[in-house]
Structure 1
Amino acid sequence: MTVLRERLCAETREDIVVFAIGMRINRIWKPWKWLPVLFEMPPMLKEQAADPAIGLLSTRFMFGGRNIGVLQHWRSTEDLHAYAHGAGRLHMAAWQEFNARIGTSGDVGIWHETYAVPATRIESIFVNMPAYGLGVAGPLFSAKGDRASARKRLRRGAELPSGDR
């Protein structure tokens, strides 16, 4: 990945969905419980990446102690739900397997959060970074002038004519 040695920001004229999903290893001494959950995510991510039409814009892994997660940007909640409930997609089978094998035993936790974000309320900054997050999902711009600060970037987004979103 090429480090872009400048101040950049990403913009979108469309609303987006930020989706965070992950697992927490509650009982580390039971790898036969949590390893299958861990190994179910990579094939789903591969399936998502193979089909740009589903509406996934970017994916980034997150690690922290017993938590392993993924942060994604999606085109819409409709696209996200269509993937999650789609016949023949890996997600529904993985969800059913989790409920059958783990349920509410407490061995492994899973979580997700969905944020539907209007284009008028999005701002970002990237300094000395490869394309990341929204910078993968959409175009990057030099963070100068009316894009020089978070306040200016948010003001700029709020001033977008509704027809430009």
Structure 2
Amino acid sequence: MARTGSGIHCGRYTNQPVDAAVVFLIGMRFNAIHRPDRWAPVFTAMPKMLKYLAQRPEVGMMAYDLWFGRTTLALTYWRSVQHLQDFASDREAPHLEPWRAFMRRVGDDGTVGIWHETYEISPGSHETVYANMPAFGLGKAVGVRPVGAGTTTARRRMQEAGTGRQLTG
């Protein structure tokens, strides 16, 4: 696999076959930028959770990427919905207490928005392509391989994902 010194996979790549995974998007929005007393605890909770998860692959998170702005975004990939839910409800993990603190301190006062979306990936329900990119997204979570025979179009990658095997021709 051709890679540059900066970790970029040159050419076109797709993800390795995957039977199932979960895409979990989560973030916050600064609604009152002048109120760091409200948003700072929320903002600083996510890096602690991601560090915890990165150090414990058995918990089920496979990979993540972050974007910052007025609305922040963490794109995460999980082994299953059950893994995600188990983490969210684990009293020993760094999620429940920040969630409860948010509800106590901020609640519905409108100063900070939080959001998440969960999507299950099943065979035939996804396809990926990366061109001249470092490890990213689902490919970062499960690995990548060059686009080749049977994976040159989005339609073919969807078909391959549905069969769980590499197509030819």
TM range (shorter): over 0.9
Shift of 1:159: 2.4
- Point out where structure 2 has 5 or more consecutive residues left out of the alignment: 1-5
In the superposition, the TM-score normalised over structure 2's length comes to 0.90
Equivalent residues of 1:44, 1:91 under 8 A apart: yes
Cα distance in 1 for residues equivalent to 2:59 and 2:131? 30
Match of 2:114 in 1: 110
The worse-fitting range, judged by mean Cα deviation, of 152-161 and 35-44 is 152-161
RMSD over equivalenced CA pairs, Å: 1.2
- Secondary structure, counterpart of 2:158 in structure 1: helix
Equivalent residues of 1:11, 1:122 under 8 A apart: no
- Secondary structure, counterpart of 1:137 in structure 2: helix
Deviations 1:106-165 (A, max 9, x none): 00000000011213212101111111111111121111210111111001112237xxxx
1:149 and 2:137 correspond: no
- Secondary structure, counterpart of 1:66 in structure 2: coil
Cα distance in 1 for residues equivalent to 2:148 and 2:44? 43
**Structural mapping, 1:67-146, within 5 Å:** 67-146=71-150
Deviations 1:62-81 (A, max 9, x none): 23x41012010100000000
Equivalent residues of 2:62, 2:78 under 8 A apart: yes
- Point out where structure 1 has 5 or more consecutive residues left out of the alignment: none
Give % identity: 36
Cα distance in 2 for residues equivalent to 1:26 and 1:41? 18
Cα distance in 1 for residues equivalent to 2:135 and 2:38? 35
The structure with the greater share of residues assigned to helix is 1
Equivalent residues of 1:16, 1:119 under 8 A apart: no
In the superposition, the TM-score normalised over structure 1's length comes to 0.92
Equivalent residues of 2:19, 2:164 under 8 A apart: no
1:40 and 2:45 correspond: yes
- Secondary structure, counterpart of 2:92 in structure 1: coil
1:21 and 2:26 correspond: yes
1:5 and 2:10 correspond: yes
Cα distance in 1 for residues equivalent to 2:18 and 2:33? 44
Number of residue pairs matched by the alignment: 160
